[in-house]
Structure 1
Amino acid sequence: MTGMTSIIIPTYNGLHLLAPCVESIRKHTPVPYEIIVVDNGSVDGTVEYCIREKLILISMPSNAGFPAACNKGLSIADGDHLMLLNNDCLASRGWLTNLLAALYSSGDVGMVGPVTNYASGRQQVETSYSSREEYERFAAAWNQPDPSKWEETRRIVGLCLLFKRKVLQDVGFLDERFSPGHFEDDDYCYRARAYGYRLLICKDTFIHHEGSASFKAGHPNGWDAMVSRGRQLFIEKWGVDPHAFL
């Protein structure tokens, strides 16, 4: 497997999260990649940071939400493999190499994701670190390549979702009716499976996730309402409760 991975990171007033995220990617990713930051109208210096760090930047005039930002990034991505990554994640040693190995382990595998400290469903695992340094050691020990730890699943949380370009060509873009966010990742996984693609959780790959930090900052009073709205949209669209796939 060769080629480049496009890592698309939507962000909104999250420079304090974005900067360490980018730093961790640069530190732990020896395989070819590009970083595309889609800024949703931040006023915290994100644009200036991206220019200074020579990142590919799409600067939106206002906060269009997570699905729309992802689609903007996907529309300009040059990579053979595409990743949607939350700005509050930290990469780890071997993370992308392990994920790519699983993604290209079979022609019918379309999407893969890691395990983490904070996620709904089967991707959350117990951790034992309390600092950045401890996390680095924890993840390095965890991320030993082991195909026996790849598990087929019906959903992958969009905090770190890696998929083949052919999936984008076949399935299309994220459904922006789920904006500002929640359940657009469940919807995308459902569509990919309907197209015949298999999804894998890579339990040999761990990354840190701060946990819905940007959403809670941008929507401090409407968190539960947004979750409920996204779930209801999914039910109306597909006639099934997405919680059935947890």
Structure 2
Amino acid sequence: MKVFGMVTTASSAQYTPLALESFFKNTCLDRRDLFFLIDNDGSLDPAVIEPYEHVNLIVNPEPLSFSANANIVVEAADRYLADLYFLNNDVIFSRDWLSPLQDPRPRILSPLSNREIQYTLEDMKLHMVMPLEHYLGKEETFDKIAEIHKTNYQGYLQVICLPFFAIKIPLEVIKAVGFFDENFGKGGGEDYDYCLRAYLAGYSVAYAR
């Protein structure tokens, strides 16, 4: 079983519709899988989730930190005895993005993104940071890039730490490492902290290439 969690905020609301659309279009879900969308500040337009019957909406009574929001779905994964996938809402999910993360070994896994590797194809050039406008209208080119990447890269790249933009945390790791540290503030670092705690507990961290 898998628990997916995503957070939307007023400042990132423009990304949420495309994140949801690409997720449900390109993710093969099992019947028991759960998807939680956390509205961090009550800004979500309800129409955004109307097409998606599998979305379980959580509206925070007050805005929470990254760690506190992550812990909401950590608790859900622990309760449902599921692996956790915690996702940014500013991500476009490519076809079969989930497949490389289905590795049965208990370790923290992340896909690659334009932050880690940049391609140039036709009228699209990937940068480490990209505004939404650089994607819109180039969806077919993006799909081609994803297919090219699949032919060029396979396997896993082990690291010590990585950023949590679309992270798989297996249930076994959750049981061993526990919750995110909510003492981290706006500067971040809770994802690297979680990786280090997992590493010290005997679990590896890797990119699924």
TM-score by length of 2: 0.81
Match of 2:201 in 1: 195
Match of 1:172 in 2: 178
Match of 2:5 in 1: 8
Instruction: Give how far 1:112 is off.
Output: 0.7
Match of 1:80 among 66, 79, 82: 82
RMSD: 2.1
Structure 1 contact 6–79 (Cα < 8 Å) conserved: no
Match of 2:165 in 1: 159
Structure 1 contact 6–82 (Cα < 8 Å) conserved: yes
Instruction: Determine which structure has the larger helix proportion and give its number.
Output: 1
Match of 1:62 in 2: 62
Figure out how many residues of one structure are paired with residues of the other and give that number. Answer: 188
Q: Which runs of 5+ in 2 are unaligned?
A: 125-137
Match of 1:93 in 2: 95
Structure 2 contact 73–84 (Cα < 8 Å) conserved: no
**Cα 1:181/1:48, change in 2 over 3 Å:** farther
Q: Return the alpha-carbon distance in structure 1 between the equivalents of residues 100 and 175 of structure 2.
A: 24
Q: Return the alpha-carbon distance in structure 1 between the equivalents of residues 173 and 26 of structure 2.
A: 26
The Cα offsets for residues 127-164 of structure 1, whole Å up to 9 and x where unpaired, read as 225222211121123235965x3111101211111121
**Runs of 4+ residues over 4 Å off in structure 1:** 144-147
Match of 1:219 in 2: none
Q: Return the alpha-carbon distance in structure 2 between the equivalents of residues 186 and 21 of structure 1.
A: 24
Q: Return the alpha-carbon distance in structure 2 between the equivalents of residues 127 and 93 of structure 1.
A: 17
Match of 1:182 among 185, 188, 191: 188
**Cα 1:23/1:176, change in 2 over 3 Å:** same
Structure 2 contact 23–92 (Cα < 8 Å) conserved: yes
The Cα offsets for residues 194-231 of structure 1, whole Å up to 9 and x where unpaired, read as 0000111112xxxxxxxxxxxxxxxxxxxxxxxxxxxx
